[in-house]
Structures are given as structure tokens and as C-alpha cells.
Structure 1
Amino acid sequence: MMISDLPMDMVEEVLCKLPMTSLRRARFTCRRWNNTLSKDWSFTRKYNGEAAKRKESQVVMVLEYKVYLMSVNLHNPSPSIEPIGKLDDAGVDIINVFHCQGLFLCVTKDRTRLVVWNPFSGQTRWVQSRDSYDIRDRYALGYEKKNNYSLKVLRFVDDYDRNLKRRGNTYWFAENKVAPGKIGRVFLLCFNFTTESFGPRLRLPFRGHYGDTLTLSSVREEQLAVLFQECAPPYTLKVWISSKVCPNAVSWNKVVLSVDMRPLIGFQFHCFAGSFFVDEKNNAVVVIDKTRGLPFTIRNMAYVLGENGYFKSVDLGDFAPMKCWPLVCSYVPSLVKF
């Protein structure tokens, strides 16, 4: 029997055990294996589950207008976050990214072009718009389940662009429209790429106020995570993870982290920064922001928060341009071509 004749369930079981670097080489073993690795979304989900068990941790970051695939190691006494890959397509600068199932929609700094990037395969594709782009444009990346998981880009005009993708759908913070000078109730909205419609308002586990920091993230692209930080001292930060989430309903577990940030860093994370990811295996939350201080002394920084008062900071390198806020996205490898 040749290796290409093995039953598909056996092949998937073997491939799921390989580390990502070996999986790339395995694609070229035979055409059948390459088809499984590049076209099968169900295998992608299965592989991501096994990778989580092996405690492999990677994220994607925007730093200094560049997009990096980063390796995260929080096991050591001194945590490390190091680049292992980079989007380097025609040397363009990137201002923002939107992710879905391991694929990233990147917006150029001048907001005139879009490129989709797969960090696992290195594949990129430029997105052509039917009309000219606008600086107020906001985007989301998702897929239609009924049509072989075909990718779609949602484009709309809004003042708020912090969103999160889960299983092909996109979730946004939204706010009740109220009279001028008053503050509306914040909630979640889901856009379903299959039906191309918004769902009902979804409740959040807190009630915020104007100026508070609100950020969404994902856990294995299976659950939502939400970070809330009060704008007044002691700048209390709380993180929740959903127990159930779908386009029409969401429920939340108890607070997984609650920390007063004033004695640790002395400031509130910026509402335009403060992006984060959850490291389940280390029971930690990592928030990305800038340090505070005089110009030319400000740096991009990762703040690691954990149980029993655990706190570490990781310097992410270069001086941070005043208009370039760091951004982090949870990442699970995508083996699917687009």
C-alpha cells in the first residue's frame, strides 16, 4: 500500500499530531494530502484543537505599520513574544487588520487598498473594490457556510471599527442612539455572512460609561472574550469569556480576571489600543498598548496579567509612532487556500 492510499480518517489523525512547521512540508507528500490541508475546513478545526492541547501559542500583531506572526512563550520566568513571520507584500504599510479563521484582511496605511494574508501558507491576495475607498470605511472578513465556505468582505461606513470574528460571523460593539449629551447602552451585534444580515442585540456582562475601554477577542475562535476597563482610578480591568455564542444569543461565564491597574501601570489602556488575547494554558491575559511618557520614549508593550496578582511586561521593541497603535489578534493556523 502506498502512503497516498491510506484511509482519510487515518491520514487526518496523523497530520493532526504534527507541529505546524512539519505540517507545511507534509502538504507536498502527495496531492491528496495537499487537498486535505488546503481545502478542508473541518480538518483545520480538528488540527487547531490538537495544537491547543500541545500548548502551541501564536498571535498576529500590527507594530510600526507592519504585520507580524508572533510566537508567545509565557512559561518562562521572563515571558517572551518574538516574531516568526511577516507580511511583506510590496513593502506596504498596514494600519489595521481584521481576522477570520486564521486569515487576515489588512488595510493599508493610506486606506486605499486591502490585502488578505494567510500567515501559515504565506499566500496573499489583493482585494479589488467596485468603487473608490473612503477613509471612513470599516471592514470585516467572514465566510458563507452554504457556499463551500467562500470568503466575503463586508464594507461599511462607521466611526467604530473594533470587531471580532467567530465561525465566519462578525461581532461588533454598538450603542443605543440617544439624545445629544447622553450615553446609550452598549451591546453586541452580529453580522451573519451567510444570510448577510444583522442579528438582534446581544447583552454584555457589564454596563460601561463614556471613556471606558472595551475590547473584543476570541478563544480558539470558538468563544468570545471581552475586556472592560473603567476610565477612573483604580482603572479596574475585567475579562469575561462566553459560555455560549451564536448570531442570536450569547451567555457569559463569571469574570475570569479582575485587576486594579493603577498600582501596576498607573493608567487606563487606550480605547484605540488595549487589544488583547487570552492564553488559556497559562491562565493569563495579554494586553497590548503603548507606554506613557515623553515623545521618543514611548514604546509598544505587552502586559501579562494572571492569577494571584501575576504581572509581567514584555517590551515589543521599537519606538512607537504617535499615530500607530499596536494591535494583536488571536491566531489559529488556516490550512485553506483562498
Structure 2
Amino acid sequence: MALVNLPWELVEEIISRIPPECLVRFRVVCKQWNNLFHEKRFIKTQLDHACPQFVLFDQNKIFLIDVNLDDLAIQMHQISVDIPCVLSMTPFITTYCDGLLICDLFFNGTAVWNPLLRRGRQIMTKNIRFKLCGIGYDSNRSEISYKLFGYHYYYEHDYKLEIYECASNTWKYINAPYEEWPIKEPLDNHISLGGNSYWTAYNIETSEYLIRKFDFSKEILKNFCILPCKKNHEGDTHYLSVFRGNRFSMLEQCYGTKEIEIWVTTKKIQNGDEENVVWVRFMNVSIPEIPRLFHQSFGRCPSYFVDYMYGKSFVLCCTDENRQGSIYILRGGFSRKIKIDSMGVDFNHFIYVPSFTPIP
């Protein structure tokens, strides 16, 4: 049988849909394939097709969890990392952007790490406590240049917002307040989308939940949009996540019933969309064993993602009522709780989308 030479564009599309862990090994197939994995266009295409994973930090060990929505099952494997400080301590605050994980190492600075490529770098701060908030870039520029932003603690109650530019290895002070009355923030971890950083906050005067934003193009803090929910109980919780790579999803849990509603935005999130954000209910989640979830100020945030590739699906990583690490999966009318037996009670977990994005 004669071999058929497929158009290279079709080959690229097929390769981009292969599971990332397998793709890493394909770099040795030929020089053309190895070069492909460094092209910006392919990196973006592969990232668009990649499925979210969970990354877990526990007692000097790091694990990745793949979720199989067909069988409502998970596959867990330990991975290595070449940043000693990441292994010597458990990062508390972690965010991700384009396949890069950003880990807060307390007084040891910050780590930028790509778990798929097993590569990373440590960024030292100014020998004082640095609170990592987010990562992003100027979306108005053709070339992506990643930046971190957060607060340096100079003295008690003296917090200064600063930006770290990865390319130039320099810090820049931003004249912005740590908190603005009547906004209470943040209620959960920051997420990165379209080059900007977002997080949920609460307006004490109006009793409204909202999304706050750090705009990396203008280097300013601002309100982005009002969330489609009201505060009914002090224990009601809300968590923001990325949906389908370019939209928001929001988890809202009722304290009394523990039932969960998932909301999603109808359109791609872009700069200047503040007045045009529309939310719709995506799904209701009712799993008998699901625990009450808590905001960051009360404990570690849960990690979750939703999808509709296999029908509407919901996947949550958190600790249960007995402080046992667990994965909850809901798809259609089927649900399953999977215990993570190898985890201690103080493990951290985060959403991660694997990609070939190089370390900045």
C-alpha cells in the first residue's frame, strides 16, 4: 500500500490533539516535529485543545492528575521539578497562565514552572515578604512578554504593588492602594485570562459580588463586572475559573444545602468588555457527599473545571469532611467520588492546563 502524504497543516492539527504527555516524546521523531513544538502558532493551537489537569503539592512530592470523563476515572503520577525550593516547601498561592504555573515561595521568592516540560526558574524578590497575585502580559503587543504582579510587605500595614518583568529581570512600583473601601478582596485565587489577572471580591456597601482585574496593558487595578449572585448567607462561597480557554466560569455554593450552581460567560473575555459581560446558568451540581467549600481566608480554595465536550461535566478537587483529598466528577446523571489516598491533610492543589509554552 502506498504511503499518503498528508498536507502539513492537517498533520499539525492532528498532532495538536494528541495528549501532551505523549507529545513530549514525539520531539525525537524528527527535526521538523521538534521545531514544530517551538512555533508560537502550534503552542497556541495545542493549548486550545488541551484538557485541564490538577497539580498537587504534598510533603516534598508533586503529582499530576488526569481526569477521564468517559469512565469517570483519574490517573495520577508523580513528576520531577528542577527548582529545589518548590520541593523543599509547599507553595501556598499558585496561579497559571498559558501552561505556566506560578508558585509563591514566601521568603524564597517566586517560581515560574512548566510541569509538562519539567523546566522552571526561581525569581528572587527584595529580601522581604512578597505576596504573589497574578501573571499576565500586555495584550496590545504582538510579542508576549510575561509579567508578575503582587505586593511587597515593607513594614506592617505598608504594602506596595509592584510588577516584575520576566524579560528584563526588573521590578517596577505601581501607585495603587492595597485595598479600596468598600471592596473586600480577594475571596479566591487569581486567574489569568487574555493577558490580564482576575479575582472575585465583595462590595460591603452594596452586598454585591464582583470581579476585579489587573490590566497589564495599562498597569492599573479596576472593577471588571458584577457577578450574577447575591449574598444570602455568610458561608455562601464563590470561585472563579477559566472555561474553554477564553471565558469565565463561576462556582456558587449554598451554605445550607451544599448544592452548587455553575455560571459561565457567553462570550470570549477581552479588554474593554466590562459593559458587555453576560452570564448564564450552565449546570446545577447535587452530589450527596460533597463538602462545604470555603474561601481562601478560611482555608485552601478548591480547584475545579467544567466542560461540555462529553455532555455537561463538572470536576472538583478538594478535601472532604474528614480532610481526605478527593476528586468529585459529575457528568450527565452520573457522579463519582474518588479518594486520593496518597495525600496528607495539608496538600495544595491547583488547576493546570499543559502546554509547550517556554519559561520566560
Shift of the 142–30 alpha-carbon distance from structure 1 to 2, 3 Å rule, reads farther
The superposition leaves residues 191-213 of structure 1 with CA deviations (integer Å, 9 ceiling, x where unpaired) of 22222223443121212343211
SS at match of 1:288: strand
Displacement of 1:45 in angstroms is 2.2
Shift of the 334–313 alpha-carbon distance from structure 1 to 2, 3 Å rule, reads same
The letter for the 2-side match of 1:278 is V
Which position in structure 2 is the counterpart of 1:277?
Answer: 305
Shift of the 7–92 alpha-carbon distance from structure 1 to 2, 3 Å rule, reads farther
Which position in structure 2 is the counterpart of 1:241?
Answer: 264
Which position in structure 1 is the counterpart of 2:76?
Answer: 82
Distance 1:19 1:259 in 2: 28
Asked if 1:334 corresponds to 2:331, the answer is no
The superposition leaves residues 17-67 of structure 1 with CA deviations (integer Å, 9 ceiling, x where unpaired) of 544245324445666654542351x32222234x35xxxx34132342554
Which position in structure 2 is the counterpart of 1:47?
Answer: 46
Asked if 1:122 corresponds to 2:111, the answer is no
Distance 1:267 1:18 in 2: 35
Distance 1:215 1:118 in 2: 24
Which position in structure 2 is the counterpart of 1:3?
Answer: none
Distance 2:336 2:127 in 1: 44
| Residues 248 and 264, structure 2, Cα contact 8 Å, conserved in 1 | yes
SS at match of 1:256: strand
Shift of the 206–184 alpha-carbon distance from structure 1 to 2, 3 Å rule, reads closer
Distance 1:33 1:215 in 2: 39
Displacement of 1:101 in angstroms is 0.5
Distance 1:217 1:148 in 2: 25
The letter for the 2-side match of 1:107 is D
| Residues 289 and 326, structure 1, Cα contact 8 Å, conserved in 2 | no
Shift of the 153–31 alpha-carbon distance from structure 1 to 2, 3 Å rule, reads farther
Q: CA RMSD in A?
A: 2.9
Q: Determine which of 256, 262, 281 is the counterpart of 1:255.
A: 281
Distance 2:349 2:58 in 1: 10
SS at match of 1:172: strand
Aligned ranges 1:8-87 → 2 under 5 Å: 9=9, 12-13=12-13, 15-16=15-16, 18-28=18-28, 34-40=34-40, 42-49=41-48, 51=49, 57-64=51-58, 66-76=61-71, 79-83=73-77, 85-87=79-81
Which position in structure 1 is the counterpart of 2:99?
Answer: 102
| Residues 213 and 274, structure 1, Cα contact 8 Å, conserved in 2 | no
- TM-score of the superposed pair, with normalisation by structure 2: 0.75
Which position in structure 2 is the counterpart of 1:312?
Answer: 336
Which position in structure 2 is the counterpart of 1:144?
Answer: 138
The letter for the 2-side match of 1:46 is T
The letter for the 1-side match of 2:104 is V
Displacement of 1:265 in angstroms is 2.0
Distance 2:94 2:134 in 1: 9
Distance 1:165 1:67 in 2: 22
| Residues 63 and 76, structure 2, Cα contact 8 Å, conserved in 1 | no
Distance 2:80 2:249 in 1: 26
Displacement of 1:279 in angstroms is 3.8
Asked if 1:163 corresponds to 2:190, the answer is yes
Shift of the 327–266 alpha-carbon distance from structure 1 to 2, 3 Å rule, reads closer
Displacement of 1:223 in angstroms is 1.2
* Residues matched between the structures, number: 309
Displacement of 1:252 in angstroms is 3.8
The superposition leaves residues 205-248 of structure 1 with CA deviations (integer Å, 9 ceiling, x where unpaired) of 212343211111112321111101122x2122111121122243
The superposition leaves residues 120-149 of structure 1 with CA deviations (integer Å, 9 ceiling, x where unpaired) of 2111011122x23327x2321112331620
| Residues 70 and 85, structure 1, Cα contact 8 Å, conserved in 2 | no
| Residues 64 and 320, structure 1, Cα contact 8 Å, conserved in 2 | yes
Shift of the 121–132 alpha-carbon distance from structure 1 to 2, 3 Å rule, reads same
Distance 1:39 1:301 in 2: 37
Which position in structure 1 is the counterpart of 2:181?
Answer: none
Uncovered stretches (5+) of structure 2, i.e. residues with no partner: 1-5, 152-158, 160-177, 179-184
Displacement of 1:171 in angstroms is 0.8
Deviates more, 1:96-105 or 1:219-228: 219-228
- TM-score of the superposed pair, with normalisation by structure 1: 0.79
Distance 1:7 1:199 in 2: 46
SS at match of 1:139: strand
Q: Give aligned-pair identity as a percent.
A: 21
